[in-house]
Structure formats: C-alpha cells, structure tokens
Amino acid sequence: MAIEKTDTLIVGGGQAGLAMSEHLGRAGVPHIVLERDRIAERWRTWRWDSLVANGPAWHDRFPTLEFDDVDPDGFAPKERVASYFEEYAKLIEAPIRCGVEVRRVTRNAGRPGFTIETSAGVIEAERVVAATGPFQKPVIPAILPEDAGVTQLHSASYRNPGQLPEGAVLVVGAGSSGVQIADELARAGRKVYLSVGPHDRPPRAYRGRDYCWWLGVLGLWDLATPPAGAEHVTISVSGAHGGHTVDFRALAAQGITLVGRTDGYEAGKVSFAQNLAETIARGDRNYLSVLDAADEYAARNGLDLPEEPQARMIGPDPDCMTRPLAGLDLKEAGVSTVLWATGFALDYGWLQVNAFDANGQPEHQRGVSKEPGVYFLGLPWLSRRGSSFIWGVWHDARFIADQIGIQRNYMAYEGPEAQAVKSA
C-alpha cells in the first residue's frame, strides 16, 4: 500500500494545531492535522464543569473569529470555548482528522523528512509541528502515600463538588485552578483548606480596563523571558462569577483556611511551610506593581480613565495568616479529599527525534527546534508570556509558518544549472 505523504504534519487539534493550520493554509503549505480525540478535547474533558475562560471574550480568541454569542466583556464557558474552536476549524477548512493518535515520529535515514506512525497507518512528512499542549501530563508531587486514607485527585480530574466524598478538602496549589476550585467547594458548603505557594495575582480590572488589556498595553504579554526568579510562579486569575480579582483575604473571609505550601507528610499529618504571610505579601506586591505601572502609563499617555484609589486598599491579615497552621492531621480535621492543583508536565514520548536536552525538555528557539524540520507550538514562554494562551499561540503559529515557508523556498532552489536551463 502506498504511504500517504504531506508537507507538514501537525500533531494535536487544540487551539495551537488549528492556528498552525490557518497560517499554513494561507501560505499554501499542504498539511494534515491529527487529533487523537476531538477538536479542543482538553477544554471539554480535562477541566471542571463550571470553568469559564480566564480572559474576556474580546481578548481570549483568535483575531480571525469573534464569539458571536458571548458578551465581549464576558467570559466564555469552557464548552463554548471548545465549540468556538470547532467553528474555527470549519471556517478555515482545516484538514483535520480526529480520533487518530500519533504513536511515533522518527527521522528518515539518508533522506529528508519524517515517518509518522499513527493509529490509522503511516504518514510521511517533510516537517512535524508538535502542538500537543502546554499541559500534557498531570503532576502530583510525591508527598502523600497512596494509603494515606484520603481520596487524591488532580485538578484535571475534578468536575464538581458532588464528585468528591463527603468531608473537608485540602486543595494544594493556589494558581488559577486551585483558587477557583477552592472557592467553588467552599460555596458548596465544604470545609476547605487552601495550600498557597508563590503566585502572581494581577487585578481582574483596574480603572475600567481588564488586566488582559493592561498586560497588552504595558507590553507584558510580549515579555520574551520570565522575570528573574519568577520562572515557576503561577498566575492566579478568575473569570468565574463575572470575573473578579483573586483575593486570598476574601477567600479566608469566606471560611477557607489558608495554609502554607504543602511540604511533607508523616503519620497522617500534612505539614506546611511557615511563610504563608510572606508568600501572600509577595502576591500583593505583584498586584500593586500592576496598578503602579497602569497609573504611570495612564499619566504618561494622558488617558482619561476613572481613578480607583480603593483598589489599593488591602485588608488586614486574617488569623490563618498571622497564626498559620504548621500541619494538619487529616483524620482529625475530617479531610476526605486532597485535591492537587499542582500543574502539568510535558510528555513527548512519541517524538523520537533529536530535539530535547538531557532532561527531556524541548530545545528550540521560538518554537524552531534544534532538529531541522521539527517545531514546537503552544508551550509556556515559547516566544513570550502569551505563548500558551489563546491569543498568543496564534501569533507564534504565524512565525512558525513563516519559518516553514523559508525552508521550503531553500529546498525549492535547484541550483545554477537548473536556472540556466530555465532561462535558455
């Protein structure tokens, strides 16, 4: 049987794969997108039921398609985000095949291109774009043993409060997922402990503009590398309930007990780092720094935006911050579930090429890997802060399509002899 051939094979049919398809389509580059599940599957089945986009609909979208049924300043429900990408795939007539898993990609020996083994046969391509997501494999730190007597699950498996056994919940991690899930569980009447590590918490909105706008005009989405020391700092934002600033003191006032970073377990007792107040104060400094930068920008540009001095008021530290728990006996506290909102790792086991460093991390420059013909897309900080977000990946895809076009032009050059024949 003849092997199917294409110029560029895109692995993954989420926003990254589709953005790549749009730009390759515009450039006339033959390509195929393979998605093992459905379009934007991770928006459907890897996220909790009530999740809405963290950014407003005017911002968290591709430039080429608006949400026609979501208020531009509102936050699209996750199912709507998924259907948006389905609509988008139709709009650009993406050559996407769903239900096809890529199992192995290897470089051809002694000839250009790659052989791609899939669940539906073999394909050969000159180039491969890995668009399998910034968040591929849920990570649970090895702190609690399996037999700790509680249900343990990752935020990627959390759906709603009713899914969890009766009892209190320890939510570990205070990025956007951890704070939103803790809030939902507390509203559902659960006793919640929220374990807080380093984070940034920009204001939801300031002086009448959403933080997505401020980060844009301040050039912060375009930062090329993380600020020193901030490489692993998660960002706590929320579009839930119409969108609000993540405020740990407000979560405490709601009845959530804030605790420090979870750092150990012994004999039924989880222990916490003792720098909770400093961790939260650092998040406050990040919050205030955005207000300072916004005020300075508004003054320098003479923007007529309403002043908002009350945004600078930070309430007193609650008891759980001033006298933080050193540990928690899970049984005594009635904790039935530990929910790990502790992030994700990469998993490129299928990509068996020379594109990784000694730690298995992709080695690339703005997505162009050190293995010629292999490209990465959608990774955090691929080229800038916005790279793993909806709007940012579209711009990175345009750059990679351009790089692919450049390589195709070189390969199309046939040498001076062929030029002479043509002009004779």
Please give the residue ranges that form the binding site for ligand FAD (CB under 6 A).
Answer: 11-17, 34-37, 41-43, 47, 51, 53-55, 60, 101-102, 131-135, 177, 350, 378, 388-390, 393
Name which of 36 and 204 has its Cβ closer to ligand FAD.
36
Three-point CA angle 340, 150, 174, nearest 5°? 20
The minimum distance between CB 86 and ligand FAD, in angstroms, equals: 12
- Maximum alpha-carbon separation in the chain: 90
Cα separation, 278 vs 248, whole angstroms: 13
Name which of 243 and 260 has its Cβ closer to ligand FAD.
243
Cα separation, 81 vs 411, whole angstroms: 38
The minimum distance between CB 303 and ligand FAD, in angstroms, equals: 25
Cα separation, 132 vs 376, whole angstroms: 9
In sequence order, which residues have a C-beta less than 8 Å from that of residue 299 and are 6 or more positions away?
A: none
Amino acid at 254: Q
The minimum distance between CB 376 and ligand FAD, in angstroms, equals: 10
The minimum distance between CB 389 and ligand FAD, in angstroms, equals: 3
Name which of 288 and 350 has its Cβ closer to ligand FAD.
350
Name which of 298 and 390 has its Cβ closer to ligand FAD.
390
Three-point CA angle 58, 60, 62, nearest 5°? 90
The minimum distance between CB 50 and ligand FAD, in angstroms, equals: 11
The minimum distance between CB 391 and ligand FAD, in angstroms, equals: 7
Amino acid at 224: A
- Cα–Cα separations (whole angstroms), residue 364 to 312, 371, 381: 41, 9, 11
Name which of 54 and 271 has its Cβ closer to ligand FAD.
54
The minimum distance between CB 175 and ligand FAD, in angstroms, equals: 9
Name which of 244 and 249 has its Cβ closer to ligand FAD.
244
- Cα–Cα separations (whole angstroms), residue 299 to 211, 215, 294, 305: 17, 16, 9, 10
Q: Are the C-beta atoms of residues 223 and 384 closer than 8 Å to each other? A: yes
Name which of 43 and 84 has its Cβ closer to ligand FAD.
43
In sequence order, which residues have a C-beta less than 8 Å from that of residue 256 and are 6 or more positions away?
A: 182, 183, 186, 192, 193, 194
